[in-house]
Amino acid sequence: MPASSLKGDNTWIHKSFTLLAVRFGVNCAGRIRPNRLPVCLSGYNPHMGKRSTNAEPTTDRASGETLAVWEFAGLMLTYWCNARCAFCYVCSGPDRDGEMSVDDAIGHWSSLDRLAAAHGRSMRIHLAGGEPFHDWVQLVSILRAARDARLSPVEKVETNAFWAADDGLTRSRLELLDALGLGTLVISWDPYHAAYVPVERVRRCVEIARRVLGRGRVRVRWWEFLHDPVDVRRLDAKQREDVFREALQRHKDRLTGRAAIELAHLCERHSAATFAGQHCVDAILRSRHVHIDPYGNIFPGTCGGIILGQTGGGGLRTVEQVWQQFSSRWHENPVAQAVVAGGSYELLQRVRPLGYRELPGGYADKCHLCAHIRQFLVDCGIWPQAVGPPACYGNEADRAAAIPPQS
């Protein structure tokens, strides 16, 4: 669908904003006062059945795009993490919570398996967070229930190895994971994690995992940093920034989540117009990868915090139902529609009338622009069915940690 055909839809945004300005007030900077937008006026609710009379067909007439079948899924067991890495894609930390129940995990897993099977595919599941080892009993209970229900095998579990405090504990946990069918253990280890986890624990976890699982079933992200680590915890702020700057140059990852708040100032930045025309069809519609958070929100695989749909709720929606609904009605999701049409620059056009102000210093990449806009939407309570939950976005502690503050 060309951007021009979507721009006409902005009319309702202008009308809504005018209504809101009168009813709820706008602050002196033109920003809607946070938390004053009621859901009923936020303009998007994927569960409002009456709007389905305007539903678009699965195939977008203009672009011919159809929604890919989801085949890779990460179950985010919690937003809690012992660390609060500067690069965390979902802003996890010790002050975050949320816990996926065993019933919810098995429900999502079963539905994902059925979705893939209905299209002649097989599902690949991984368990992630936050830190999935936060509640060891819960992690084991989910894996045991999945095995007993004969669900697809767990492809991988991701961890930062903070729990590998001694050899006996590490070995016993890895042996149990092996017995429960774990495919690969993926250990997150880079300069950002090194600010919170001692390298000795990572080395212990790697060495014992290689003995228990075999070398081919252990991965470290990034191996080269394990071979030549830096104890980031001992560095002062300036030295730490230098290490992070070099890491950003070496690994050109997207600046989303906490990285958009804490690391963007270390990158070369550009005006928002630089990113005009960089649409996100691949990330939103063509990706076969999703994450499901502890509250049942389904995110595109690489864009945490953009809500494609929600499982559970009053209607007890399954993942299959969310896929069906998003497949036919993604045009009604204001964030997905905008970024599919024209990327974060198109999203910028949609949110300017809502009070969003561009960063005068510019943005590191199109995802930094997207993340900054979405943070504004979450702070203001706008489109909560399409962006959120707040646990996935920056809070006051994250803003305080940003050096220098965003400008």
State both tokens at 87.
């690069």
Let me know: does 167 contact 135? Beta carbons within 8 Å.
no
- The residue among 220 and 255 lying less far from ligand SF4, judged by its C-beta, is 255
Select the residue interacting with ligand SF4 from 91, 142, 303, 382 (CB under 6 A).
Answer: 303
Q: Which of 353, 351, 405 is nearest to 378 (CA)?
A: 351
**Distance in Å, CB of 275 to ligand SF4, minimum:** 8
HSE-CB at 118 with a 13 A cutoff on CA atoms is 14
**Distance in Å, CB of 302 to ligand SF4, minimum:** 6
Q: Which residue has the tokens 């958009």?
A: 260
For the CA atoms of the chain, what is the radius of gyration?
Answer: 22
State both tokens at 77.
């067991």
Q: Mutual orientation of helices 199-213 and 167-179 as an angle, nearest 10°?
A: 40
What region does 80 belong to: left with phi over 0, alpha with psi -120 to 50, or beta?
Answer: beta
Select the residue interacting with ligand SF4 from 143, 261, 307, 339 (CB under 6 A).
Answer: 339
State both tokens at 28.
């002196």
DSSP state of 283: I
- The residue among 254 and 291 lying less far from ligand SF4, judged by its C-beta, is 254
Select the residue interacting with ligand SF4 from 86, 142, 283, 378 (CB under 6 A).
Answer: 283
Select the residue interacting with ligand SF4 from 367, 380, 382, 391 (CB under 6 A).
Answer: 367
- The residue among 302 and 310 lying less far from ligand SF4, judged by its C-beta, is 302
- The residue among 232 and 387 lying less far from ligand SF4, judged by its C-beta, is 387
Taking contact as CB under 6 A, which single stretch among the options 20-28, 164-172, 180-188, 363-371 is the one that binds ligand SF4?
363-371
Which residues from 234-273 bind ligand SF4, rule CB under 6 A? 254, 256
- The residue among 100 and 339 lying less far from ligand SF4, judged by its C-beta, is 339
Q: How far apart are CA 349 and CA 345, in angstroms?
A: 7
Select the residue interacting with ligand SF4 from 116, 186, 232, 280 (CB under 6 A).
Answer: 280
The Cβ of residue 211 has, within 10 Å, a number of other Cβ atoms equal to 11
In sequence order, what are the residues at sequence separation of 6 or more whose Cβ sits closer than 8 angstroms to the Cβ of residue 23?
none
Q: Chain-centre distance of CA 97, in angstroms?
A: 15
State both tokens at 84.
């609060």
Let me know: does 132 contact 77? Beta carbons within 8 Å.
yes
**Distance in Å, CB of 181 to ligand SF4, minimum:** 32
One-letter amino acid at 376 equals: F
**Distance in Å, CB of 119 to ligand SF4, minimum:** 24
DSSP-assigned beta bridge partners for residue 185 = 157, 218
In sequence order, what are the residues at sequence separation of 6 or more whose Cβ sits closer than 8 angstroms to the Cβ of residue 167?
204, 208
Contact map string, positions 341 to 360, toward ligand SF4, x by CB under 6 A: --xx----------------
β-pairing verdict for 289-292 and 297-300 = antiparallel
Let me know: does 306 contact 374? Beta carbons within 8 Å.
yes
Number of residues that bind ligand SF4 (CB under 6 A): 12
Taking contact as CB under 6 A, which single stretch among the options 4-12, 92-100, 230-238, 338-346 is the one that binds ligand SF4?
338-346
Taking contact as CB under 6 A, which single stretch among the options 153-161, 191-199, 321-329, 364-372 is the one that binds ligand SF4?
364-372
State both tokens at 351.
């949110």
- The residue among 164 and 255 lying less far from ligand SF4, judged by its C-beta, is 255
Q: How far apart are CA 399 and CA 95, in angstroms?
A: 14
**Distance in Å, CB of 307 to ligand SF4, minimum:** 12
- The residue among 202 and 387 lying less far from ligand SF4, judged by its C-beta, is 387
**Distance in Å, CB of 254 to ligand SF4, minimum:** 6
**Distance in Å, CB of 339 to ligand SF4, minimum:** 4
Q: How far apart are CA 378 and CA 384, in angstroms?
A: 7
**Position 308 contacts ligand SF4 (CB under 6 A):** no
Taking contact as CB under 6 A, which single stretch among the options 151-159, 170-178, 187-195, 336-344 is the one that binds ligand SF4?
336-344
Select the residue interacting with ligand SF4 from 67, 100, 220, 370 (CB under 6 A).
Answer: 370
Is the preceding peptide bond at 294 cis, omega within 30 degrees of 0? no
- The residue among 188 and 344 lying less far from ligand SF4, judged by its C-beta, is 344
**Distance in Å, CB of 370 to ligand SF4, minimum:** 3
Residues contributing to the site for ligand SF4 (CB under 6 A): 254, 256, 280, 283, 303, 306, 339, 343-344, 366-367, 370
